[in-house]
Chain A
């Protein structure tokens, strides 16, 4: 027996609180932000209509482009490297360590690699901020102990080393996430496929390439999508580690928007930056989801 249509009607009431709050907290602010991106506004008084001025300025602004280039560096450090390393580690742990040392050993490694992920991004930043501190930081201390004084430097305060340092920190922070997702995905795979491959004489690397990577494609999609979006939103680590500096060598769009909103009181310009970020993120989401559903068909 099907539920009658009339009994379905009363369900709207349950959506009401959620929908009202959604409109107040997300929809209205989101539209306001798009609105202010077409104005000049200091945050007080009436916003002045500016048309596409802010967007035109954005495309000429070398600082904005610098922040996007740094974003590509974040993409490498948060998406590409952790996904590749995570795949390799997951396959080694699942298909090698589990066989040779038992599943407890593999679970132990998985948990340990995941540990940085449990930290708030800001705390993760702080851990590293003092390890890399030029005067009393542990890294320079270690180098001095080893007699490598000439390698010590102001890691985060130097244009050449600031961005690479931040990238290393991001890899450290991010690695556990793909690893855990991939290992969960590997549990879905029928062990008989591996057995058959072994009987056919497939090497470990063949199995990795043709079975593991192929069969956990859905997980790889999820990881690529979520970490790409996360890399576009990086803020906390930059705030704690470098504040975008020195110069704009570690500036990211998120921090650039923050500066315009709360330090320079250029609300219109800040809104334009965050609107561009939103368009890119939603575009990427649609792209990934379409690709994924195309694969599944």
Chain B
């Protein structure tokens, strides 16, 4: 790459270069060498890509000691730019006093911005590393509490990432 950025005029070329043939052979050498290099393709359904902890997959509710952390404050529903989250609060005997009776994310609307995770005071809703979302109807895309709950062990990497980037 010694000539990179220099203007090459036709009169500067040697006779051999003007015949194109050695230059074409050089190019052929490069393409043939390229053929035997390892490919970057990942064979999708068999080979799954494991995202980094900074990846924002579908949002999930964190479950700690068998109970979700969520106190149903409604901030996530408030901040959601796509209006995808719906929360209904109820009272409970536990220390946190409130829990979500209904927590529903419309996954057709969700834009994976991660605002809900950022705004949550309890670190109760985080973005997981799941990216395979397939629905065949609008109703199927409404993820209720049963689909959203995920234990802390499964979300360890993301929670650590969030703490180190606070």
Q: Do A and B bind each other?
A: no
